Amino acid sequence: MVTDADEAPRPPELVVLSAMAHGTHPDRGKVFRALIAALEHVDEDHATLYHDVVLAALPEAARHHLEDLMLTRKYEYQSDFARKYFGQGMAEGQAKGEASGEVRALLSVLDAREVAVPEDAKARITACTDLDQLDAWIQRAATARTIEDVLD
């Protein structure tokens, strides 16, 4: 089990195996910090591969622990690949969260106004991720008498 971040870069593959094997150990935080240190000392292709392999091998709770550790330590991804896809994932998650809030607001307004929302309309609303469209529907919902007044 590799837990010393200063020793982690030699050899990095040993640290990767340690993280995979000891991801549920009580000292997994130290193991994961050693992994993060090791990834900083390899080329971006290997860092991406090793990170992916470790995450795939860990049980869900350990995977979340590693991801949280990387976020709370303000880990800066070394590879362009990881920076691009991590940033893209964060942006997509934020957009989905905003759209989800808008969908809830729209359905809440329709419910308060006692506008019937058939399943096909509800499916159309919940599938929408266009914030401008959702905003327009919310504005229409404020005075709508039917779902057609909102969606058409």
113-146: pLDDT as tens digits: 999 999 999 999 988 888 888 889 989 998 999 9
Domains in the chain: boundaries:
12-78, 91-151
> What's the pTM?
0.47
Report d(CA 152, CA 85) in Å as an integer: 37
72-108: pLDDT as tens digits: 544 555 555 555 555 555 455 555 556 677 888 888 8
DSSP 78-144: -SHHHHHHHHHHHHHHHHHHHHHHHHHHHHHHHHHTT----HHHHHHHHH---HHHHHHHHHHHTT-
